[in-house]
Amino acid sequence: MHFLPASLVGCLLLTLAAASSDETTKTCKTLASALAEDVFYPESPTYNASIQSYPFPQLRLNPTCLVRPNSTQDVVTAINVLRDSGCTKFAIRGGGHNANTGFNDIEDGVTIDMRQLNYVEVDKDVVRVGAGAVAQDVYDVTDKYNISVMGPRIGVVGIAGFLTGGGVSFFSPEHGWSCDYVENFEVVLANGTLVNANASSHSELYAALKGGQSNFGIVTRFDLKHFPVGQLYGGRIAYAPTADVDLVEGFTQFKLAKYDPYAAGWVTNRYNATTGNYTPTSILWYTKPDLKPGSLSHILDVKPQAMNGMTTAPVAAFARNASMVVKTSNFNTIWATTTFHISPTIAHKIYQKWKELIPKVTDTYKSANVASELTFQSLAPPPKSGASPNSLGFSASSTPQSGLVFLQIIFYYADSSATEGLNNALKDFVQIFEQLAKDEGQHNPWIYLNFAAWFQDPLAAYGNGELAQLRRVARKYDPKGLFQDQLVGGFKVFNGTTDWRGHWDQHGRADGDRGGKWN
């Protein structure tokens, strides 16, 4: 038999009495009393600037109030107030780049906007990065020292969500997942305690944060291992529409070739429903520019090319260039992902099915000016044997970087009335592509969290054993479920409030722990 914690009983009664709005207003007043300089309301220019700064329109919600902490202690204060309110829902914003509505902002609740914590400090062994920093903040500093870190490849992407979701970097083919280069997480727990999670202190929390995202606390600082780096060779190539099949074949041959630890990037085909045009492109990097670009030649040699922007430049320049499209777009953006094993034919089958269906899908929403992209790219290597583990579910002996591909399906559109239909189309595409892979025996159930849609369950896809461990860590560090119940955004280890309450008993324990791995 399961029982709810007393605090949740109060929350349920308030919800049934339709008192949640009054409760949130009261919480905002308490926050304003405790953090007078950090709390903003809808009439404030700071509030409105924060909302408008989200990169995609569907993310621009209307919280009752906005908290912008200026220090770690401000985060502690905010969490203490929110926890003691017992019911007030809240969201946490790092960079704000995740495309899932409600994952980094909230309607009629409290949004904690971490972007004031955007410092970057270089030390002998690590780069200390505040949780509000984006990739460009970091690279603009590290480039000056001829070093780099395992950060995002697009400059506007926030460090916090990227790293706690795993993270694929410029240097991932050689070094692995970006989260594995976090030496230490500074974390505010649900009880207001500030801890450092690393290989020797709170090591189970350390592993859980590397892929488990916001289920355990609020990370306020990342200590990132750095390494020497010069310039990279890379850039964007736009191909003629007639090169689309050859580009898919080039990517296939790249994946089937001997693994190249210096080759990074992705290939994309974009369909613009307004013009009816297809635009095949690649964005590639080679992290050893003094060497020939190895297996990338399979993609670099595809012809005809409309534009070739391959060049040698610092990391910061590539991250800044990759941000341009995001910064200049004012389109709603939604995406989903799936994973498969490469074969000589599977990428072609997926691409041809997308090419067949995408004009029909977008024609349904002509007034929304829809565009769509289909992107193929590689996973990162797992931690080596003996290294500190992450939570992504790959054993040290596995080689996901060699044979696995993760696919991203994206819609861009101007009219929000198309959201429901295009979300349904995303679901359909995921199902269709997974079935194509299953029919060929190439499907893999793993899901990359940072590209997952709200309707997917990437934490469960790590495997039963990993999910059970994530649940154990959540129970230990958040025994009353603050980050399961009151924090509304993100993927939950208990798969949402109802499932969490169903698992929790009066002793703070949960059932459903299972061993084993999906692979």
CATH number for 448: 3.40.462.20
For the residues of 241-268, what is the DSSP string, one character each?
A: GGGHHHHHHHHHHHHHSPP-TTEEEEEE
| 203 in the same domain as 130 | yes
| 86 in the same domain as 145 | no
Q: Is residue 452 part of a domain?
A: yes
**pLDDT of amino acid 20:** 65
Structural domain including 497 reads 464-519
Q: Is residue 178 part of a domain?
A: yes
Residues 6+ apart with CB under 8 A from 386: 396
Interatomic CA distance for residues 198 and 204, integer angstroms? 9
Computed over every residue of the chain, the mean pLDDT equals 92
| 98 in the same domain as 33 | yes
| 49 in the same domain as 157 | no
| 436 in the same domain as 473 | no
**pLDDT of amino acid 16:** 40
| 271 in the same domain as 209 | no
| pTM of the model as a whole | 0.93
Residue 472: half-sphere exposure toward Cβ, Cα within 13 Å: 12
| 205 in the same domain as 105 | no
| 448 in the same domain as 470 | no
Q: Is residue 123 part of a domain?
A: yes
Written as one letter, the residue type at 272 is: N
CATH value at residue 47:
3.30.43.10
**pLDDT of amino acid 214:** 95
Q: Is residue 253 part of a domain?
A: yes
Q: Is residue 300 part of a domain?
A: yes
Written as one letter, the residue type at 126 is: V
| 288 in the same domain as 341 | yes
CB-based burial label for 514 (10 Å; 0-12, 13-18, 19+): exposed
Domain count for the chain: 4
| 306 in the same domain as 171 | no
| 153 in the same domain as 84 | no
**In the chain, which stretches have pLDDT less than 50?**
1-10, 12-19, 497-498, 500, 502-519
**pLDDT of amino acid 21:** 84
Choosing from 401, 426, 456, the residue where a domain stops is: 456
Q: Is residue 321 part of a domain?
A: no
Q: Dihedral sign, CA of 211, 213, 218, 220?
A: positive
Q: Is residue 41 part of a domain?
A: yes
Choosing from 175, 200, 230, the residue where a domain stops is: 230
Choosing from 456, 473, 505, the residue where a domain stops is: 456
Q: How many CB atoms lie within 10 A of CB 16?
A: 9
| 434 in the same domain as 353 | yes
**pLDDT of amino acid 292:** 86
